[in-house]
Amino acid sequence: METWLTVFTGVVAVALFLQSLAFIGIYRSVRKLSARVDDISGDLMKGLGALTSDISQAVTTIKSVAEGILALKDKLSSTSDVVHKRVTEIDSFLRQLTDAARLEVARMQDAVDTASRQIEGTFELLHRSVIVPVREITAVFQGVKVGLDFFLRRPKRPSGTSHLDEEMFIG
């Protein structure tokens, strides 16, 4: 039994030795991995720091742009209100001006119609009062002249002259 015990102790000792070597190998691997993780995390922290500062600058820039856009929006809104007010005022003014122009055109048409009727009335009155009596008087004188010529036996004038005299009074 001693041999079995010695063999068994030898096997256990070899197993323990191999296990120790495995643990040493694992320890070295974990140290290397830990060093690598530390390096990577350091690089990651540097990258995150740079990224954080870049994001911070971008946020600051975006804030300033947003403030500018808000100011521009407010100015655009107030400008739009002013333009709308002015357009409304101009529309109202043009409407009043158009109504006044229409009224004046109607008044002018009435004045022209009235003046036209008065001128026509004046010409008709002139025709009845002056031209018709002048024609009648001329016809009476013509008749008296023809009668005197007939009684006094004067030679008749050429017919062309009397027509010329009559044409002067035809109107």
Per-residue model confidence as pLDDT tens digits over 29-85: 999 999 999 988 888 888 888 888 889 999 999 998 888 888 888 888 899 999 999
**Res 22: pLDDT:** 92
Q: How confident is the model at residue 125 (pLDDT cuts 50, 70, 90)?
A: confident
Is residue 168 a part of any domain in this protein? Answer: no
Is residue 11 a part of any domain in this protein? Answer: yes
DSSP secondary structure of 139-166: HHHHHHHHHHHHHHTPPPPPHHHHHHHH
Is residue 159 a part of any domain in this protein? Answer: no
List C-alpha distances in Å: 126 to 1, 116, 138.
173, 15, 17
**Number of structural domains the chain divides into:** 1
**Res 108: pLDDT:** 93
Is residue 75 a part of any domain in this protein? Answer: yes
For residue 90, pLDDT over 90 is answered with: yes
pTM beyond 0.75: no
Per-residue model confidence as pLDDT tens digits over 4-16: 889 999 999 999 9
For residue 171, pLDDT over 70 is answered with: no
Residue 45's domain comprises: 2-150
**Res 24: pLDDT:** 94
| CB burial string 69-95: b at 16+ within 10 A, e below | eeeeeeeeeeeeeeeeeeeeeeeeeee
List C-alpha distances in Å: 168 to 29, 77, 142, 160, 164.
144, 82, 14, 13, 6
Is residue 155 a part of any domain in this protein? Answer: no
Per-residue model confidence as pLDDT tens digits over 109-122: 999 999 899 999 98
**Res 49: pLDDT:** 86
Is residue 167 a part of any domain in this protein? Answer: no
**Res 18: pLDDT:** 93
Residue with token string 């929006």: 73
